[in-house]
Structure 1
Amino acid sequence: MYFSTYSNFDSHPEALGVRMLRYINRPQAITKKRQWLAQLSGMGDRCSTDLADDPDDPRISKQRPQIDFTIEWIYEIDLDRNIFHINGIPFFSLEYLPDPYAFIRHISKDHYGNVACAPACHPGHKYEKPVPPSVHDSDLATYQSLACTGAHMDLSDLLAISDALTPGEHVRVSLLETMIGQCMIRSDTASLIYGLGLVSSHDQLTDDEWLTACTMANFAFVPQMFGTHISHPQLNRKEFTWVREDTVVCISTHLDDEGCLQASISRLIDAILEEKDNPGDYFGVAFSVYHCAIVKVVKDVHITTFSHTTPFKFLPSFYADSPSTPGITAIARLGNRVDQALFVRIAEIYQTSEDNWHTYQQKSLPQGIDDTLPKISCKELPTELWREVALHLQSSDLIAFGLVSDLCREAATMVLRYPHVCGYRLVAVAKERPQCLLHSGEYRFLHNACFSAAQAGIPVDVLVGSESQNNIISRIKGDTHGIMKRLSAEDLARMDSQCGPCSSSLGLLV
């Protein structure tokens, strides 16, 4: 429950911020506030009615106040957690507040442009994060009862892949870094991210916090097609979210604590064994935004074994100098595994103004035939040549092309494994960052990335990111004609309404 009052005067830290600081620093101020809050809570619904009739009393809301065009600064006294928040970001412990001069000095901007507590702030003044929850023996029963073939493994050992990234993996990692960076430059999402670090257990997450975390994890597993005609399914809150036929995600907390890590892995194994009857290899992702861990479950006819990685750091620091983290790399590489259902998944999310998946089926398949593809025998045209044909098609035509025959579907699927943004197939990460991302002190490279791409066989360099935020319009190396087509954020994936509050709104420069 939130009690808020609106200030009609200067709300900047030097004015309203310092007044709030001095107010809460008065002797017994916190104790009196707790008593006042207890009295109001005891009034129940009558409290809201009485306060609403008195313009001098605070407004009561279950929703946290948000910054908007009429509100520039919000100072929040969190009596539940003993934290002084500024603009939804936790700053100071209520018990060890700084003096007014240090208070103003420590209000800074992070590398993503959000209000943040300066790194130089004395640790004694900073808010305290909750300790990991107690883990009961029953929470570890599955972990301890099954055969563990490897703990705290490197991802390359778990997946039996090379330590070095392939060019395709490099693209997916860089794109995921950009998407996570796009989440972090949004002040509302930054507040939710900080909130994820203030809960003791996954059961305490609000719906928005859960959706933020699950969306960030899901970025790596949705078909890598983003644009105005792509409609990714919305996420609904569940304890376990199956992001692929063989991969499940659960939102956790405190994965850097061994007990919490093992408890989360136990939950994932239980979910896999309950959902899947067939023998095979299955994967689970424990995800807390701050860390992630991957478990591999090998289900045989006679025995089930598991192995898991170390908890990787996922979220970059808000004061990061690089967008890369081991966790982002791990999740992107896991999402890059071959997906046998990729073509069907992309067909289901692809929409055009006139046609959709069912219309494609009706147009492409003879009457009376379900999804059986016509058999075309073309010995003189191997898969490699069909792939060359697919590489010269618009991304919007690949679905229709893949419905022609099995060979065409195989070729189309090869091309669809590349990430596609607004019809541009991202082929490789650019060897050099464009100058527009290297302006001193702006850290644009944390939420933008440059790729070598192609559209209908024509090579081009593209800049993916939030160009509209800073009006980035500059020539990208390789644009031989010196012509740049500027696409608005709406031309990229409309992820805001489809995937959650932290979804990326990306712009594109080509």
Structure 2
Amino acid sequence: MGTRGLRVYRRRGKFFAFYNHSDSYPAGLGVEMVESIPRDPSEYAAWLEKTRAEYDRLLEGKSELSGEDKSNSLEIHETRPTTDLFVEYVYEIDLDDEVFWMNAMPMFRLDRMPSPEVFLEVRGRDSYGHYVPKPSMPAEHACQIPAPSQTPSEEDLSAYTSFLKHPPASPVAADVCTLLGVSEELSASERIRIALYEVMAGGLMSIAVFKTVLLNAQLARSPSTHQPWIAQTAKKLVVRAFVPMVFHSDVELSVEDRVAELEDESGAGGLLWLTPDVCFGAGFYLDYDDHLRAAVGKMVRDIHETPSAKGVIYGALCSVFHIVIVKVDKAPGGSFEHTPALQFLPSRFTESPSTPGITALLRLAFREDSTLCETVLSKSPFTSEPPAESPTFVDRLPPELITRVASFIPDLRSLLAFATLSDSTKARVSPELRFPFVGTHHLFGSSVREDQPLRQRLRSRTFSTRNDDGDAHVCHISGARLVRMPWETKGEVKGCFGMFTRGTMNAVFVLAVEEGKA
């Protein structure tokens, strides 16, 4: 009854979408699509071969649509179609990876499809509200994540062993705090930055278009086609941890710009040097031991081949799904060690936004804060005055008093103006920038609203703040996709800040800020 939808077939990376004007709800078009796929193995094999050939001919322009399809509007897309304001349901038969998708979420193995009755019974939602089969679904219908089709490089595996000074000893460090040389107790500024990063990660996981590509990368039978997206996404997520968490109209901080700067200066093996002693490298299948050892071996070799890297060097290997922190001692007789593969992004069925990988990455990024002020000033309209010929009254103040004064300055503009007074004030402002600024809010603490539904708790947090007047209150920050109607302009959106870009002019993922009550 007027429920609009799409019937989609994927072949050779193209998406053939047929518009369906009515009865597109699961018991209508959904059941029709399920019933079109044979469940008998021999019939399925013949059907798959025939259907693939049909769409191959269509792609090559050697045939036309016939029957019912001829009367329906067909559009061929480069990316996976999903729901929007005008389409409520999308059912996709993926002929490439043999997966049945619903609303751009993988549901069943194509060669082990459930009956229409089971299809209607087992549709559930994950922690973020997206379609997923319920746990009661028979395992035979579940999508299978294929094992890696690529074997790790023998050269990289050999590097893992050759750089061990004591081969019988395991280089795997069980405790990330020991590896990083940090206290097990989180500081107040670490807790707040980790909390804000978790909001960002939860915001990404709640966005269907992000998670669709993520899941497709896991299920793809030709994973090499998705590795560039995984590598670039991992790069942005790791760099985000090393960019000051200052979201303000006066500060032109952008993860994309920072990634471009780092790529221009990339070192051996394509390593990105986030700081003089921390580098990033993309890894794949880090939850497989041989692939992990090969990725670590390559990173260790590349670090040793970087002349500017001195002393103890840390590396972050990330696959989006997992992260490994590596520690390399370049001193004579030094060796290396690393963490196991730590879960990075939250799972689809999590009950908490926290993961060991996010905590490890943010603790790695927290080791150095002396350049925070310099970085923020370099991207802001504030400039230092020419150095005075003789010390000013500010230079005569005890450093601890300057730090105390900086702690009482509530707004970012005044804080940065204070930093430009002298080298002493600039050095003493950096610790204040360990606490995030989001618009007019200087964040000092966070809490979870237990009365909220799980879906909200995973992508939002309540923060205690000081505003520009120094008044203490709270704000609610959530991670979300910025949705604009086609007729709207690309202007800035009030109360929202880009997670990766500067502002919201071109942002897709944003932090939405709302003042509220504790």
TM-score, normalising length: structure 2: 0.81
State whether structure 2 residue 28 is matched by structure 1 residue 15.
Answer: yes
Instruction: Give the match's secondary structure for 2:37.
Output: helix
**Aligned-pair CA distance for 1:403:** 2.1
Residue 307 (str. 1) matches residue 324 (str. 2): no
Query: 1:199, 1:269 → 2: CA distance?
Result: 29
Q: What one-letter code is carried by the residue in structure 1 that aligns with 2:465?
A: A
Paired with 2:277 and 2:108, the residues of 1 have a C-alpha distance of: 43
User: Which letter does structure 2 place at the counterpart of 1:344?
Assistant: E
**What is aligned with 2:478?**
465
In terms of mean alpha carbon deviation, does 13-22 or 110-119 score higher? 110-119
2:486 — aligned with what? none
Q: 1:166 aligns with which of 181, 187, 193?
A: 187
Alignment of 1:29-428 (within 5 A): 29=44, 31-38=46-53, 40-41=55-56, 46=61, 56=72, 58-132=74-148, 133-147=150-164, 150-199=171-220, 203-205=224-226, 207-230=228-251, 231-234=253-256, 235=259, 240-300=271-331, 302=332, 305-350=335-380, 356=381, 360-361=382-383, 364-366=384-386, 375-376=391-392, 378=394, 381-393=397-409, 394-428=411-445
Partner of 1:473: none
- Separation in 2 of the partners of 1:461 and 1:287? 34
SS in 2 for 1:153: coil
Please list the CA deviations of residues 9-55 of structure 1 after superposition, one character each: whole Å capped at 9, or x if unmatched. 2222111111100001366355334334345436765359x669965
State the partner residue of 1:503.
509
The alpha carbon displacement at 1:504 in A equals 3.8
Matched-pair identity in %: 27
1:451 equivalent to 2:435? Answer no
Instruction: Say if 1:228 and 1:494, in contact at 8 Å, map to a contact too.
Output: no
CA shift for structure 1 position 493:
2.4
Relative to 1, partners in 2 of residues 1:38 and 1:213: Cα closer, same or farther, differing over 3 Å? farther
Equivalent residue of 1:128, what SS? coil
SS in 2 for 1:2: strand
Instruction: List per-residue Cα deviations over 1:100-137 (Å, max 9, x = no partner).
Output: 12212222222212222223322211000011342242
Q: Separation in 1 of the partners of 2:90 and 2:459?
A: 26
Alignment deviations for residues 211-264 of structure 1 (CA, whole Å, 9 cap, x no partner): 443333333222111234443141459764443343222332221111111112
What CA distance in whole angstroms lies between the structure 1 residues aligned with 2:280 and 2:46? 42
More divergent stretch after superposition (51-60 vs 180-189):
51-60
Counterpart amino acid of residue 181 in structure 1 = G
What's the offset of the Cα at 1:309? 0.7
* Cα distance between partner residues in 2 of 1:12 and 1:240: 49
Secondary structure of the residue aligned to 2:320 is: coil
Deviation at 1:188, TM superposition (A): 1.0
* In 2, Cα distance between equivalents of 1:34 and 1:4: 20
Instruction: Look up the equivalent residue of 1:418 and give its one-letter code.
Output: F
Gaps of 5+ in 1: 351-355, 470-487
Unpaired segments ≥5 residues, structure 2: 1-13, 264-269, 483-491
1:478 is matched with: none
Structure 1 contact 285–294 (Cα < 8 Å) conserved = yes
The structural deviation recorded for 1:400 is 2.8
